[in-house]
Structure 1
Amino acid sequence: MSFHGSCAALGDDAVVLLGPPGSGKSDLLLQLLDRGFSLVGDDQLIVEHGRVRSATSVAGLLEIRGVGIFEMPYRDNARLRLVVMLEGVADRLPMPQYDATLGVPSIMVDPRTVAAAIKISWALDAVCGRKTQYCGAFAA
């Protein structure tokens, strides 16, 4: 399955950023890369057998709006663990959500907030069992 989005990975654990054009996917991807994540893909992604990769034509390319397109190191693929929908204000304490199309947990994040990348990093850690959540989207 191919779709439009951005993807970063922490180790082999990938997070996919989805939203309409201009919603901040590439900006948020850049913030995740600055936090130690690896680039998997920007713009065109392919998911097969639970793993995500970049479309060959844009592999290793990252668009930074207002600056240009950069070539950089990237992971060939990573295990899809979390989908992040870039939308407006998220619920304060969200109920668990699941992306039926991609088959993984999902959260909504406002990409304009200063802590958006931090929230995604913590959410990925919760999904992967590296952090324990008391209440919210990933609470047991």
Structure 2
Amino acid sequence: MSQLHANCVQIGAHALLLRGPSGSGKSSISLRLIDAGGCLISDDRTDLVARDGRLIATAPSTIAGLCEVRGIGIVRGLPIAAEGDVRVLIDLVADATQVERMPHCTAEEICGITVPRWTLCATDRALDAKIRVALAVATGEMRLEA
């Protein structure tokens, strides 16, 4: 088992990890994805384990069902999922110049499972849509042109 400093959100049948330092927008972005129909798996820290060739995410028991909403406090009652089949990792950066315009597909190995990884700017107005596209590419629902 491994633990990442990352949020995890379920969208449809698959989950994604949002990784970044404290204050990078992980919880705010998670809230927007949840507001659009997603479910929270974990806020701030995510436990990960390989199971049947898949990377499965859960919340540590001490924070399960909780989400820190900066400016409001720690809340309970958001739509949640007990676990998720992680298909993509999004690294959040604060500066749009850190995001390549046409990046090569990269991946990261977590618990022996290779997961596609993209770097996106946390303040990008199209971030929610880009995250959904990245998840669709990672699950084969969309494809990248060479």
**1:67 corresponds to which of 42, 66, 72:** 72
Q: What residue in structure 2 maps to residue 22 of structure 1?
A: 23
In the alignment, what sits opposite 1:138?
none
Count of aligned positions:
135
| Partner in structure 2 of residue 113 of structure 1 | 124
How many Å separate the matches in 1 of 2:25 and 2:116? 20
| Offset of residue 105 of structure 1 | 0.4
Unaligned runs of at least 5 residues, structure 2: none
Percent sequence identity is: 30
Q: Which runs of 5+ in 1 are unaligned?
A: 136-140
Query: What is the rounded CA distance, in whole Å, between the counterparts of 2:66 and 2:23 in structure 1?
Result: 17
Query: 1:11 & 1:62 partners in 2: Cα distance?
Result: 20
Alpha-carbon deviation of 1:113?
Answer: 1.2
1:80 pairs with 2:91: no
Query: C-alpha distance in 2, partners of 1:84/1:107?
Result: 5
Alpha-carbon distance in 2 for matches of 1:127, 1:44: 22
- Residue 51 (structure 1) aligned with residue 56 (structure 2): yes
TM-score, reference length from structure 2: 0.87
Show structure 1 runs of 4+ deviating over 4 A: none
* Cα shift at 1:134: 2.3
TM-score by length of 1: 0.90
State the AA in 2 paired with 1:52.
A
CA RMSD between the two structures: 1.3
For residue 99 of structure 1, report the CA deviation from its aligned partner. 1.3
1:133 maps onto 2:139 in alignment: no
Partner of 2:108: 99
Partner-residue secondary structure (3-state), 1:43: coil
Cα displacement string for residues 23-77 of structure 1 (whole angstroms, at most 9, x for unaligned residues)? 1111111111122111111012100011011111111111110111111231111
The amino acid that maps onto 2:84 is: A
SS of equivalent residue, structure 2 residue 17: strand
**Distance in 1 separating the partners of 2:36 and 2:144:** 21
